[in-house]
Amino acid sequence: MITCKICSNQEYHGVLFCGECGSQLVFTSDKNVDTLVYPSQVRGLEVDFRDTIPKKLLEERTFILYIAEQDKVIDIPEMEEFTIGRFVEGQVITPDVDLNRYEAYDMGVSRLHATIRINKEKNKIHVIDLGSANGSSVNGYVIPANSEVPLNHGDILTLGKFNLKVILPKDMK
């Protein structure tokens, strides 16, 4: 947990701004975001969620974003690049994937939070934080705004406080 220096509110690691007073909690650093640890090293996660997802779904999708806390798979488009966030009435630019139905507002997900890029030829997936208010992280490492970070099977992608497990088919692992 991170403690706000202004109001002493406790926030999860990876959250950039205090939910109580709005002050900045994390300042950008020169960390090498290409050196990420695997979830098993961070949280002891050893479950391979490919065993819990219907096989047909794994065969049809390039990759899956799974919400373990809700036991739900996010419906994502088969596009090479798409945005994730929350749709708000009157919003001019809307996300390709709307996370409102997953209670994302309460978890600090921004309207246009992140972009996901898929390179099928190289079997690579990357995430880019779009300067979101509460930030993004992969396996607990904060993603600097507008930086491209690789996603691997088993990674935990956190948007604000919203955790997503990245599930890749075995041939992309």
Nearest alpha-carbon partner for 84 in 163, 159, 168? 159
Amino acid at residue number 5: K
The pLDDT tens digits of the residues spanning 54-85 come to 555 556 666 788 887 887 888 888 889 999 99
Whether the Cβ atoms of residue 119 and residue 80 lie closer than 8 Å to each other: yes
Report how far apart the first and last C-alpha atoms of the chain are (Å, whole number): 31
What CATH number is attached to the domain comprising 72?
A: 2.60.200.20
Segments forming the whole domain that contains residue 109: 2-172
Between CA 151 and CA 75 the distance in angstroms is 18
Task: Give the chain's domain count.
Answer: 1
Whether the pTM exceeds 0.85: the reply is: no
71 versus 52: the higher-pLDDT residue is: 71
Whether the Cβ atoms of residue 113 and residue 85 lie closer than 8 Å to each other: yes
